[in-house]
Structure 1
Amino acid sequence: MQLATIFLGFIVFGISENIKGPAIPRIQFDFGLNESQLGTLLSLNALGYLLACSFTAVLTRLWGIKIVSILSFALMIASGVLIFFSHSYSIFSSSYFLMYIGNGMLEIALAILGARIFVKNTGFMMNLTHGFYGLSSTVAPLVATGVMSVQVFGHTLDWRGMYLVMLSLSVLPIIAALGSSFPGDNVAHDERVPLKKLMRDPVLWLMVLILSSGVVSELAVGGWLVNFLEKAYKWDTIEASGMLSAFFLCFALARLLLGALTDRFGYVLSLALFSAFSALCTFGAIAGGERVAFLFAASGIGIAMVYPTVMAFIAKRYSKGSDTAITFTVTLMGLGSVIGNYLIGFITESAKRLYGSDTPLGLLRGLQAGYGFIGLCALVCAVFSVILYLMLKKQKELI
């Protein structure tokens, strides 16, 4: 039941994160948002994610991981209900913010649970469980597109009804969690490594930079790829959602099939190689134009490996302080995500104005510049991974 909770949890997490791809153009149209405002919306939601990350570890120590996990799923169900009834932008943004609170709590809860359970073949098992996130992310955009067109009692569900239906699936991992017992809640506080000691470790700060840049590159695809393909190449929603699903198929297969390589190559070297591959694919897709759009999907192979490999590294290096190290790292990662989403929208809008806001060329260059930042984040992830690799190799502390 512990494994069922983790697997189902990552499935729901992938759904909640990536149904926004086909929904965002409609949300943007309904509320009259430009790209900069859209980037601000996603940044504010990432702020909710950040806030949740900052207090989830405290709640885990007070209430236990079981209650915190169930609460995070319940919040996502509640946000789905509120989104369904939101017909003003203020109510919608508040409801969306609540969903990201639930997502942030779930992110920490699943990471802590994985670090406690997977003490052997950590890289493989972390990538395997996170592979279920990739699998659900693969089908989420296409399923979301289909659900938005479903009619119930003569009314089309559209994006509001789609969020209600998809987020209601959170009831499945709640059932699994209710039947589970979770390890590690009885660990004495004096056995845990204190945060002040962890913060003096430069390795952890480098891991924050690696994770932040990698996750910005990963999560931004779900929010911006469909928007890019529809506006830059005039693809219809089904085609664009299909490419997003292809990205997450590559994403999921990489985690399911390549996780064992991280244990063999070493976690830090794997981070450098895979993130560099993702950056090359993203830049190649932008430079090559529509005929090499498949490289957008291929970039998922590399960026998929960043998050679970970082979690495996933390679980191994900070075995007695994994809860604290994970919370610290993921919280700062959330801050990076806030900044990253804002920058993508800002860069897109700025480049549009530079080439002519109301011209097709201005739109294309703006979208290319914004999406290029996603590739740049993957490249930054690779650079910091190389720096960390050289540092740990010199200290003979490679994992």
Structure 2
Amino acid sequence: MSENLKKKQYIIPIVFIFMMMVLNATAENVRGVFIPLFKNDFSVNDTEIGFMLTVSSVGYIVFTYIGGILCEKIGQKKVFISGFICMVISLLGLWMSYSYSIFLISMFILNIGLSLISIAINTIIPVLFISFQAVLMNLTHFCYGLGSTIIQRTSGVLLFKGVSWRVIYLAEAILFLVVFLFFLPVKLPNVHKSKNEGSKAKKSDLFKNKLLYFYMFALGFYVFAEMGTGNWFVNFIEKTYSYDKSKSSFYLALFFGIFTFGRLVGGFVAEKFGYIKTVLVSLIIALVLYITGINLAQSGLVIISISGLFFAVTFPTIVVTISKVFKENDAYATGIIVTISSTTNMVLNMVIGFLNDNIGVYKAFYLIPMSLAVSILFIFAIYKNVRTIAN
């Protein structure tokens, strides 16, 4: 088959990948807007909301690992289908959840679906348009950010107009079902990964490499700062400044809108100035803006939103450098790093929920810039050790 024919054959799968990323973002990031409503409808406090986020993270972490195995065993197409089924079931469950236990179960299944779709996307992209992997990755992250921006603002406006959060989840279930039905006849390439026994024997050596731990914590504390903003920013605004849902969701939508733009241009900046160096400088700027925004109270909310521009480049750029630093068993190293990063995010979400209830929402929100600071320290350690490799 000619290269041009292959490209034409894979255009439709790529379009569906972009659509899936938009939908995944809407399902994952809308809960930050809904958290105050969850607390009211289920009569729970921030600690219990933190537990919900932990349950969600456990589902995501476990099934990211399982999903990677399934991609090799049954192929990405069946993993996509499994993910879609989980998404539709969980979103319908959230629509019908009038008890906290059903709500928790639905959130757990939701994150199973999110993880299966995400791992299928991450493992199929390198097979499609091999010469355009960087472009595809950037566009994929852009689509995720686009979905986040759309849902943050749209959901806030709909809630302000009296539309129930349950109805919004029902609408998402219908969208996932429609895309799923159109996706069924789409053909995806079969991926067969060869097993390298010599490489397997050296996997234990990874744990003797201090860089593995630097990456784990650099990415883990960063992921919490990004996801923590998505989960807790609206709650922080409403509890601290008594803003309504429409107004508070605007700042979160602005954060993700600017963040999305940063994902589009950040890769080009990293290519010009160096991967790790770009991330390091970018996160330092983000930290300064974030702390300044919190300290300036209501007038600083827009500054926190603007900091999203300097968050954007971190995750995809750091992940790209893993294969450069861990040249043998790079996929295995990536799996370990992402798993520990997700676990760190899960634990810190529990911590911020607990702190909200015990020291107040305003003080607890400082955990996010503190996490950025810790991430910067580990990224600096990586930079000092691999500046010639990863740049």
Query: Normalised by the size of structure 2, how large is the TM-score?
Result: 0.89
Residue of structure 1 in register with 2:385 after alignment: 391
Residue of structure 2 in register with 1:372 after alignment: 366
Question: CA separation in 2, counterparts of 1:316 and 1:133?
Answer: 25
Residue of structure 2 in register with 1:182 after alignment: 189
Deviation at 1:197, TM superposition (A): 4.5
Residue of structure 2 in register with 1:240 after alignment: 248
Deviation at 1:200, TM superposition (A): 4.0
Map of 1:251-262 to 2, 5 A cutoff?
Answer: 251-262=259-270
Q: Give the conservation status (yes or no) of the 8 Å contact 2:226–2:311.
A: yes
**Cα distance per residue 1:307-344 (max 9 Å; x no partner):** 21123223445577454333222211221111010111
Asked if 1:45 corresponds to 2:56, the answer is yes
Residues 196/377 of structure 1: CA separation in 2 closer, same or farther (3 Å cut) = same
Residue of structure 2 in register with 1:215 after alignment: 223
Residue of structure 2 in register with 1:20 after alignment: 31
Question: CA separation in 1, counterparts of 2:135 and 2:364?
Answer: 33
Asked if 1:73 corresponds to 2:84, the answer is yes
Asked if 1:168 corresponds to 2:174, the answer is yes
Residue of structure 1 in register with 2:375 after alignment: 381
Map of 1:265-276 to 2, 5 A cutoff?
Answer: 265-276=273-284
Deviation at 1:140, TM superposition (A): 0.5
**Cα distance per residue 1:43-86 (max 9 Å; x no partner):** 22111111112211111111112221232122111100111111
Question: CA separation in 1, counterparts of 2:353 and 2:42?
Answer: 16
Q: Give the conservation status (yes or no) of the 8 Å contact 1:72–1:103.
A: yes
Question: CA separation in 1, counterparts of 2:304 and 2:74?
Answer: 42
Q: Give the conservation status (yes or no) of the 8 Å contact 1:28–1:38.
A: yes
Number of equivalences: 377
Q: Give the conservation status (yes or no) of the 8 Å contact 1:14–1:134.
A: yes
Q: Give the conservation status (yes or no) of the 8 Å contact 1:80–1:167.
A: yes
Q: Give the conservation status (yes or no) of the 8 Å contact 2:321–2:390.
A: no
Residues 308/331 of structure 1: CA separation in 2 closer, same or farther (3 Å cut) = same
Task: Pick the aligned partner of 1:303 from 299, 311, 316.
Answer: 311
Question: CA separation in 2, counterparts of 1:367 and 1:301?
Answer: 24
Q: Give the conservation status (yes or no) of the 8 Å contact 2:323–2:330.
A: yes
Residues 170/265 of structure 1: CA separation in 2 closer, same or farther (3 Å cut) = farther
**Cα distance per residue 1:236-290 (max 9 Å; x no partner):** 1000011110001011000012221122222211221222222212111111111
Map of 1:299-378 to 2, 5 A cutoff?
Answer: 299-317=307-325, 321-351=329-359, 366-378=360-372
**Cα distance per residue 1:280-306 (max 9 Å; x no partner):** 121111111111210121121122222
Map of 1:111-260 to 2, 5 A cutoff?
Answer: 111-117=122-128, 125-148=136-159, 158-171=164-177, 174=180, 175-176=182-183, 178-182=185-189, 185-190=191-196, 193-194=199-200, 195-260=203-268
Asked if 1:58 corresponds to 2:69, the answer is yes
Question: CA separation in 2, counterparts of 1:254 and 1:145?
Answer: 23
Question: CA separation in 1, counterparts of 2:58 and 2:343?
Answer: 7
Residues 256/339 of structure 1: CA separation in 2 closer, same or farther (3 Å cut) = same
Deviation at 1:231, TM superposition (A): 1.3
Residues 211/122 of structure 1: CA separation in 2 closer, same or farther (3 Å cut) = farther
What SS does structure 2 have at the residue aligned with 1:293?
Answer: helix
Q: Give the conservation status (yes or no) of the 8 Å contact 2:324–2:389.
A: no
Residues 178/309 of structure 1: CA separation in 2 closer, same or farther (3 Å cut) = farther
Q: Give the conservation status (yes or no) of the 8 Å contact 2:266–2:312.
A: no
Question: CA separation in 2, counterparts of 1:208 and 1:177?
Answer: 36
Q: Give the conservation status (yes or no) of the 8 Å contact 1:123–1:262.
A: no
**Cα distance per residue 1:111-155 (max 9 Å; x no partner):** 2234555755765543332011111111112222344478xxxxx
Aligned-partner residue type, residue 91 of structure 1: I
Q: Give the conservation status (yes or no) of the 8 Å contact 2:50–2:352.
A: yes
Residue of structure 2 in register with 1:6 after alignment: 17
Q: Give the conservation status (yes or no) of the 8 Å contact 2:142–2:261.
A: yes
Question: CA separation in 2, counterparts of 1:158 and 1:77?
Answer: 18
Question: CA separation in 2, counterparts of 1:245 and 1:191?
Answer: 47
Aligned-partner residue type, residue 172 of structure 2: M
Q: Give the conservation status (yes or no) of the 8 Å contact 1:20–1:141.
A: no
Residue of structure 2 in register with 1:354 after alignment: none
**Cα distance per residue 1:16-35 (max 9 Å; x no partner):** 11111221111110111112
Deviation at 1:9, TM superposition (A): 2.2
What SS does structure 1 have at the residue aligned with 2:247?
Answer: helix
Deviation at 1:178, TM superposition (A): 4.4
Deviation at 1:371, TM superposition (A): 1.4
Question: CA separation in 1, counterparts of 2:383 and 2:138?
Answer: 20
Q: Give the conservation status (yes or no) of the 8 Å contact 1:108–1:330.
A: no
State the Cα RMSD in Å.
Answer: 2.4
What SS does structure 1 have at the residue aligned with 2:172?
Answer: helix
Residues 216/327 of structure 1: CA separation in 2 closer, same or farther (3 Å cut) = same
Query: Normalised by the size of structure 1, how large is the TM-score?
Result: 0.87
